[in-house]
Structure formats: C-alpha cells, structure tokens
Amino acid sequence: MPKWFLPLTGLCAVMFAASPFIIANADYEATMGLVQKIFYYHLPSAWIFLLSAIVCGIASARFLFRGSPRQDRLAYAAAELTVLFGAIVLVTGPLWARKAWGVWWQWDVRLTSSLMGWMVAWAYLLVRKYGGPGSDKLAAGLALFGMANVPFVYVSVNYWRTIHPATTVVPTLPVDMGLALWFSVACFLLLFVLLLRLRVHLEEQRARLDALYLSLDE
Amino acid sequence: MIIDFDQVTAENVSRHFGRRRALSRISFRAGRGMILGLLGPNGAGKSTMIALLATLMRPSEGDIKYGTHRSNTTGASLRAAIGILGHDLFLYPELTARENLTFFAGLYGAGDARAAATAALEQAGLADRADDAIGSFSRGMRQRVALERALIHRPRLVLLDEPFTGLDDASAAALVARLRALRAEGAIVVLATHDLDLADGLLDSALFLRDGRMVDTVARPDALRSTYRAIMGRPGVS
Amino acid sequence: MPARRSLGEGGFGRTAWLVLRKDLMVEVRSLEIAYTTLFFAISCVLFFAFALVKEGKAPEDGAAGILWIAIAFAGTLALGRTFERERQSETLRALLMAPADRPAIYVGKLLGIIALLSVAELVLVPLVAFLFQAPLLSHPFWLSAVLISGTVGFSAVGTLFSAMLVRARSRDVLLPVLLYPITVPVIIAGVRATAALLEPDVELSLVRFWVALLLALDVVFVTLALWTFEPLMTD
C-alpha cells in the first residue's frame, strides 16, 4: 500500500465525523427543512456513482483492447464501487422522497436512470462471479455497452416518464455553492479513492497469489 | 495478402487459466513435409497447444512464429494457411455433406465452392452419400467429411486433434494414408493423439507432453508404445 | 501443394451472406427454433392476457407492452438456441477460423436473428391486435419502422452477448442478466412508439421521435458490436 493511504484514511474518517456538524450548520432550505439535509449525502453519492461507472467503462475499454490486467483489476474494483455508491443513492433518494413528498418511488428520471445503471453494474459482478473462465472479457464488453447506453437510457426514461404525470413536482437539485455541499463532495471523493485503491490492492494480491501458484508448478 | 511459411516455431510457449497451468514452456519447430506428433495422456495440454497453433487462443507467455510472422500480428490472412480438425468435428448435423463442404469452401475462400466440395467428396469416397444429412453418418464417415472440410482451402499448416477417435481400422488406415499424402505435398502436419499404435511409423518427430510440460522430444521415433512408456515412466515426471 | 488461394473475394459482405444463408438453410431443415420460438411467443401473449385483462379489456397501452415483452422473451430464447447450435459441434470455432473479417460473421448471425424475430413479429402483431382489439394495423408503415428499428437494436446487443457467452458457464441465465438492462431504452422506445400508434389521434411527431432514438441506438450498438467482436471472441 502506498504511503499516502493510512494518513488519508485518517483524514477521511475525521472529515466524515465532522460532516454532520458542517451539514447541520448549513442554510436551512425553505420548503423542506431538515429533511433536505440528506441531499448533502445523496448528491455526492450520485456524482461518485457516475464517476465510478465511467472509471469502470474506460478501464474495461482499455482492458478489452490492450489486454492489460491492471486495467481489468481497476474495472472490477470500480464496478463494485459503482454498486456500493449506487446503493447509497438509491437508498437516500427514496428516503428523501418519502419524507419530502410522501412517496417512496417517483419514476424520477435521474433515479430511474441510476437504477438501470446500477443493474448493469450488478450484472457485471454476476458475470465476473458466475461466468467461468474468460468472464473478465465478457464483463468488460458489458461495461462498454453500459457506458454507451447512458444517453439513451436518460433520454428514453425522461420522455417515458412525461407520459406518467408526476403527482408531485420533483425539484431540480439546487446546485448551491455552499460549503457544506463541497465538503461532502470532498468526503465522498476521498472515500472513493481510498476504497478503490484498497480494492485494487486486493485484486493485485490475488493476482500475485495466482502467479505464485503458477510458479509452484515450474 | 496470403501468408505462406516454411516452418512453425513455438518458443517457450506457456498458457495458464487463472491458477491452472495448461502449458509450460513448450518449444518446438515443425517444417514443411513433416508430421509432428503431440503425445501424452489426457489433460497433458495437447488440445491447448493445437488451439494456440490455430490462433484461436493467445499464449500467456512465449511466442508462436509462422515463418517470420508472429501470431498476434496477422489475422485473417494467417488463418487462410491454417486448417484444423478438432475433436468436435465442426460440422452442421442438419446439413448434408455437400452443403457443409460447399459452405466451408465458400467461407474459407477455396475458389469455386461447389467444385471444391465435389472434389472433396470424391477424395473422401463419399460421393454417393453427398446429399445425406451429416447427422445420419457414422463417426468414421463424419470424420472423413470433417477432414476434407479442414483441408478444403489447402492450408499449409494442418492441425489435427485426436483424429483417430472412434475410427474403425479401415477409416484409420485411410486417414494415415491421407496424412502421408499431405506430407508428400509439403504441408506441415501437427497431430495430437493418445493413440500410439496408429501414430507408430507415421511421425517424423514426437513431442511428449505431461501436465503441460514437455517431457521429451524424439526425432523419427519408432516403437512408439515402448518409447512412450519409457519416457513417461521416468522419475521426476509427476 | 497449396494452390493459389483466394481470400474470399468480396470479403465482408460475402462472408456475412454465406453465414446468413447457412443459418437459414439449417433452420429450414428442422424449423425447430422457428416453431418453438413462435409457440413460446404466443404463450407469452396469452399469459399476459390472462394476467392483465379485466372484464374483457386490457389495461391502457397494454397491447403495446405485451407485444414488446413477447418479442423480448422470444428473442432471448431464439438467441440462446441459435448459439447453442453453434456450440454443439464447436462450429463457432470453425467460423472463427475462417480467413475473413470476424465482424462479418457477427453480421451474418445478426441478420439471421433479425429474420427469425421478424417472422415471429409477423405472427404476434395480428395476434395481439386480435386479442386486445388494438388497431395495430392502422399505420403499417410506421409500425414496421418501429418494429424493425427496435428489433435491430435488441438483436445487435443480443447477438453479441450470446456469442460472447458461448463458452461461458451459466450462459443460459447470464444472457437475460446482461441483455435486459442494456436493452431498456429499446423497450421503452418500442412500447411508447407502438402505444402512440394505437391512439385514436396519432401524434406522428412523437412516433418519429422514438423511431429516431431507436435508429440512433441501432447505429451506436451495431458499431460498438462490430468494434468489440474480435477482442471478445479471442481467448
């Protein structure tokens, strides 16, 4: 593990511990009040979810066309984190929606598109786990299609949901430049980098173990 | 651009699947007008080596060279010079012998597909059963069609994986004669088999494999069975 | 010994055509996939009818949804069976060994799947129209446009994924796992466009929008598939 890992982990822990206080001190949102505060975890998670999916897609493309095992490990780790941060988005979203507008699920375009992206990430993990030999390439192919699909999913879901008239209006998430928001983003970004590094490290250990087993056969 | 070459060289070729080493540092050379045998028990890695030579798989380490061309730099043009008869025959059971051969002749660029198919059927001695579905053929007959399919584009390198499986004496003798004819025409033949009696007297060179490792190479082997036993029975061969 | 070999003149198109013709020939012999897929699609439609129809009326837009779900399910079955055939005598390997552009093999197989699904749709559309009193045949041109562009999109991804899975474990269950999340836009667009065509006052601009989306998707997916077919098929 690189030298920066432990100190940054400590920093991350401290930042997350401090985050509730910083969030509590942020401006109160007019219509939703306290409930809106979950947004400070929801939005960064959504961004990191997207970032993780992009990392997975690019690493998959590089693995598929260059064959670099490093990229494969990175893609696998990123896919797992996509599932993790996607889960956070898909839990915090409905919690917020429930309290703010009375319904758990609203077929909101962003939430629905995220759900589809999340399913693709799950499919990636299932293929890796149950696909047998060669499943690393299959998963990489899936990741590429998942990434290419993003605009189509968004557009089709967006136009699809206008057929279902929303009973309440879901506001566009306010991108106010408050300190609380950017602090949370920093927290989640740091967490993402650390988890990614940790997970890639695990895969590297696994690869090293495989190589040792192989050399035993010599 | 069609590639032709005088020899196939494997240099320290290894292939592993995860933790399992299928092949470990195999090196050999096979030239024109030569039949090389890959001999060994089941699981020795013979099929893997054939697949690697056919460019269906890439080696994890090492290189396979076709003349001066390396396997990973040339695609379709290299495949035009390789013919493979797999254990699973690669034939469509629903189609007739003629249809199978015509299809593959066309796909493999053998010139006039129908003419090539008719000639192949003659070669195989199956002209009278040409319009029967492959599914109705015996194993021996299917093997004959499959061999013609593998050779229909007149490849330089001919790869055969367990071609004697399920053949009766007559068919086996016919196959041996065919391989000798190919050798005389200057093809490079690599034959993977565990049938030592049939390979006896046929091979110009034999590579003995066990657990993915090259145990020995013997040029112009005779009395294959006793040679095999002697080599495989050596201590240190786990 | 080896005479002057031709490297498949006319290359790409010829290879694709040969593969397509072979697939059609094999299918015509037994018609196994055609019959079973068709029967399955019809059963699907009936299943949905029993599940959803109340007092003799399907739910709003039910006809469109049922049609596309039947196409998707039948398509998945057909894809699985088609590639199972290539697995049987490892003929896929023989195809890959051809001295031709490998993406041409993909195109040949893709066209075969599209043909098969089109035949299924020829039966399903009248059936759904009949069972649900849906005026599906009122705008044949636009309906064909929707069906074709949707089928191409679904088949493009399906053919690639099925080919990828031929040598994988758990391939039967992994095909839908991979295919359905990716083809969600196809289903949404297909159903919405079909439903729009069933409205008493058809909004053609809406139908045009969905068809445009489907065509864009077809272009992107087929291009991506052609691009990734070779690396995905090499071990």
In sequence order, which residues have a C-beta less than 8 Å from that of residue A12 and are 6 or more positions away? A187, A190, A191, A194
Are B181 and B144 in a shared domain? no
pLDDT tens digits, B115-168: 888 988 888 888 888 888 888 988 888 888 999 999 998 899 999 999 988 888
Q: C165 contacts in A (CB within 8 Å)?
A: 131, 138
Chain B residues inside the 8 Å CB shell of C2: 4, 81, 154-156, 187
B16 touches chain A (CB under 8 A): yes
pTM assigned to the model: 0.88
- Contact (CB, 8 A) for B18 and A133: yes
Asked if the model's pLDDT at residue C3 lies above 50, the reply is no
- DSSP conformational letter for A13: H
C1/B154 touch (CB, cutoff 8 Å), yes or no: yes
Mean pLDDT of B65-76: 77
Q: Is C16 on the interface with A (CB under 8 A)?
A: no
Q: Is C184 on the interface with A (CB under 8 A)?
A: yes
Out of C5, C21, C91, closest to residue B92 by CB: C91
Same domain, B122 and B56: no
Q: What is the pLDDT of residue B1?
A: 63
B112, B128, B154 - which closes a domain: B154
In a domain, B118, yes or no: yes
* Rg of chain B, C-alpha, whole Å: 18
Among B28-42, B224-238, C168-182, C186-200, whose mean pLDDT is lowest?
Answer: B224-238
What pLDDT tens digit does each residue of chain A (218 aa) get? 788 888 889 998 998 888 888 777 766 665 666 667 777 888 889 889 999 999 999 999 999 998 889 999 999 999 999 999 999 999 988 888 887 777 888 777 788 888 999 999 999 999 999 888 888 999 999 999 999 988 888 888 888 876 554 444 444 545 555 777 888 899 999 999 999 999 999 999 999 998 888 887 66
Look up residue C228 and give its two tokens.
Answer: 């990734």
Res. C234: pLDDT tops 50: yes
How many whole angstroms separate alpha carbon A105 and alpha carbon A98? 8
C87/A contact by beta carbon, under 8 A? no
Residue B236: pLDDT band (50, 70, 90) is: low
Residue B95 touches partner C, C-beta closer than 8 Å: yes
Residue of B nearest to C16 (CA): B107
Whole-angstrom Cα distance, residue A200 to residue A79?
11
Q: pLDDT tens across C15-33, in order?
A: 999 999 999 999 998 888 8
Interchain CB distance below 8 Å, B92 and C97? no
Tell whether A130 is within 8 A of chain C (Cβ): yes
CB contact under 8 A, B107 and C6: no
Evaluate whether residue C4 is within a structural domain. no
Higher per-residue confidence, B40 vs C8: B40
Contact B19 A214 (CB under 8 A): yes
In chain A, whose CA is at the least distance from the CA of B211?
A217
Query: With contact defined as beta carbons under 8 Å apart, do A164 and A107 qualify?
Result: yes
Number of domains in chain B: 2
Coil, helix or strand at residue B39 = strand
Written as one string, the DSSP assignment of A33-64 is: GGGGGGHHHHHHHHHHHHHHHHHHHHHHHHHH
Residue C160: band (very low, low, confident or very high) from pLDDT cuts 50, 70, 90: very high
Question: What CATH number does residue B67 fall under?
Answer: 3.40.50.300
Alpha helices in chain B (DSSP H): 46-53, 76-79, 97-107, 113-124, 139-151, 169-184, 196-199, 224-232
Residue C8 has pLDDT above 70, yes or no: no
Residue B172 and residue B233 in one domain? yes
Partner residue facing A156 (CB), from C160, C188, C224: C188
Residue A109: the pLDDT is: 79
Whether B88 is covered by a domain: the verdict is: no
The total domain count for chain C is: 1
Q: Are residues B21 and B123 in the same domain?
A: no
Query: Which of A109 and C64 is assigned the larger pLDDT?
Result: C64
Query: Which chain B residues are closer than 8 Å to C22 by Cβ?
Result: 92, 95, 103
Paired residues of B69 in beta bridges: B66
3 state SS of B92: coil
Mean pLDDT over each residue of chain B, to the nearest integer: 86
- CA-closest candidate to residue C33, choices C76, C69, C62, C3: C76
Nearest by CB to C188, from A120, A132, A160: name it.
A160
> Same domain for B67 and B98?
no
- The model's confidence at residue C5, banded by pLDDT at 50, 70 and 90, is very low
Cα separation, C100 vs C79, whole angstroms: 23
Is B87 within a domain? no
pLDDT value of residue A165: 46
Q: From the CA of A31, how many Å to the nearest CA of chain C?
A: 34
- Give A153's contacts in chain C (Cβ within 8 Å): 184-185
Beta carbon pairs, A and B, within 8 Å: 13
With 0-12 CB in 10 A as exposed, 13-18 as middle and 19+ as buried, what is C10? exposed
Task: Inform me whether the pLDDT recorded for C73 exceeds 90.
Answer: yes
**pLDDT at residue B222 above 80?**
no
Sign of CA dihedral A101, A103, A105, A109: negative
C50: tokens are 């029993």
* Neighboring chain A residues of B21 at a CB cutoff of 8 Å: 214, 217
Tell how far CA A20 is from the center of its chain: 21
| B134 and B18 within one domain | no
- Give the structural domain span for C77: 12-233
Chains within contact range of chain A (3+ C-beta pairs < 8 Å): B, C
Quick one: three-class SS letters along A106-168?
CCCHHHHHHHHHHHHHHHHHHHHHHCCCCHHHHHHHHHHHHHHHHHHHHHHHHHHHCCCCCCC
Residue A64 C-beta-side C-alpha neighbours within 13 Å = 27
| Residues in contact with C194: Cβ distance below 8 Å, sequence separation at least 6, in sequence order | C63, C64, C67, C68, C136, C143, C146
Q: What is the pLDDT of residue A33?
A: 67
What is the rounded CA–CA span in Å between residue B203 and residue B179? 10
Going by the DSSP 8-state scheme, the letter that residue C169 receives in this structure is T
B63 & B171 share domain: yes
CA–CA gap between residue B4 and residue B182 (Å, rounded): 16
pLDDT band for C1, please (50, 70, 90 cuts).
very low
Report the pLDDT value the prediction gives residue C79, as an integer from 0 to 100: 94
Whether A172 contacts A109, CB under 8 Å: no
Give the model confidence (pLDDT) of A198-209 as tens digits. Answer: 999 999 999 999
B48 touches chain A (CB under 8 A): no
Q: pLDDT > 90: what percent of chain C? A: 54
Q: Is the pLDDT of residue C105 over 90?
A: yes
Within a domain: B172: yes
Residue C2 is assigned to a structural domain of this protein: no
Residues of B in contact with A133 (CB under 8 A): 17-18
> Do A120 and C217 lie within an 8 Å CB cutoff?
no
Q: Do A217 and B24 touch (CB under 8 A)?
A: yes
**Number of Cβ within a 10 Å radius of residue A93:** 23
**B238 found inside a domain:** yes
Average pLDDT over chain C reads: 88
Choose among A172, A53, A166: nearest CA to A116: A53
Question: Is the Cβ pair B185, C90 closer than 8 Å?
Answer: no
Residues B181 and B134 in one domain: no
pLDDT category of residue C193 using cuts at 50, 70 and 90: very high
Q: For helices C102-131 and C11-30, what crossing angle results, to 10°?
A: 50
Q: Is B62 helix (H, G, I), strand (E, B) or coil?
A: strand
Are B147 and B166 in the same domain? no
Confidence (pLDDT) at A30? 59
Q: Tens digit of pLDDT for each residue in B132-147?
A: 888 898 888 888 899 9
Among B117, B138, B154, residue at a domain's last position:
B154
Domain that holds residue B144: 93-154
pLDDT, position C103? 92
Q: Is B8 helix (H, G, I), strand (E, B) or coil?
A: strand
| Contacts with A, C 26-65, CB within 8 Å | none
- Is C6 a domain residue? no
